Chains A and B, each alone.
Chain A
Amino acid sequence: MSEIRTLIVDDSSVMRKIIERALRQAGLELMVVHEAGTGAEGLDVLKTQPVDLILSDINMPAMDGLEFLRQIRGQNLAPGVPVVMITTESSEEHVRQAIEAGAQGYIRKPFTAEQVKERVLPLVRAA
């Protein structure tokens, strides 16, 4: 698989590192990993940097992950780039909201590297 550029948005720096580690364990060759602690920081990254994959938490202060996703789609930032939500929220309502906002994948915390592989690899290959 070719090298990919990733944006990871999570207010926890520890979780950002754990997600990055899980992506590498899944076999992704990460050429660049951008990190953002808020949705607003994530938008700033997308305005200046090309990415191939976006992973975002939902529960974040100031701008939550769903609003971040709506802003991405609304401003046509990163068109065609798959977005995967990684969150503690597991209800069907949250999944429905994520779909409506434009997510292509949903991973519940806590997760295994195998789950990340199953959910993310097909999206990267299809993009």
Chain B
Amino acid sequence: MFLNGVREAGQAQERGHGAKEGSRTMVASLRESVQLISDPRNLDDSVEEVFRLMLGVECRRDTTPAAAEKESVTAVVGFGGVLSGACVFRSGASAALKIAAQMTGMEFQELDDTVKDAIGEICNMLAGAWKGKVPELAANCGLSVPAVITGRDYKLHVQAPEFQVHHTYRFENARFEVTIICDGLL
């Protein structure tokens, strides 16, 4: 049987510690590794990677907040397992249309289902890339399917997170925000 891109990872799994021992080690180290998990560079690297590979654009962290627009879009992908929380993407309509256009090669005039689908998938990949930066999270933290909200004058409120990483990013003239919220860590 041809196992393409799979065999090496499977062998690495077999070489690893027993699940019980590995789990004990992981739980102890994860609590002690908040600094590593909340390292802001993990988010920057994830955003740059996703936008470079999926949109073919260079995306950089920006100090200017995304301008308020009449209509905005927010995508949320939840984390569960050893870390509970969420990855939240938010942008104005103009940046969302631009991202969807770059992703699909199509032009969009409004926040239709395809645009919402594209933004949800971007958020999904950001969440996956971010948790993949920390091996313990990659293995023991699951992702929800994306939820996408569009509208005007709404706010997302999170009660007392354990930690939060919130950055604005820019590609060309489009700005968007990505937030990692952790409200529980084993």
Contact = CB atoms under 8 A, between A and B. Distances in A.
- For chain A, the bracket of interface size reads 35 or more
A23 interface: no
A12 B6 contact: no
Contacts of A11: 145
A66 interface: no
Contacts of B53: 110-112
Given A17-B104, A88-B128, A111-B53, A106 B5 contact: yes
Contacts of A92: 9-10, 12-13, 16, 139
Contacts of A18: 54, 103-104
Interface in A47-100: 59-61, 82, 84, 87-93, 95-96, 98-99
Contacts of B181: none
Contacts of B139: 91-93
Interface of chain A, main secondary structure = mixed
B4 A95 contact: no
A109 B128 contact: yes
A90 B145 contact: no
Nearest to B53: A110
Contact of A88 (B16, B104, B105, B143): B143
A13 B117 contact: yes
Given A12-B120, A18-B104, A92-B13, A82 B6 contact: no
A91 B138 contact: yes
Contacts of A123: 2, 4
B121 interface: yes
A27 to B, nearest CB: 16
Contacts of B1: 104
Interface in B75-125: 100, 103-105, 114, 117-118, 120-121, 124-125
Given A14-B121, A92-B139, A104-B4, 8 more contacts: A13-B114, A14-B114, A15-B121, A17-B104, A89-B143, A92-B10, A106-B9, A109-B124
21 contacts: A12-B118, A13-B114, A14-B104, A18-B54, A59-B145, A84-B4, A88-B125, A90-B128, A91-B138, A92-B139, A96-B9, A104-B1, A104-B3, A105-B3, A106-B5, A106-B6, A109-B54, A109-B124, A112-B53, A118-B4, A118-B5
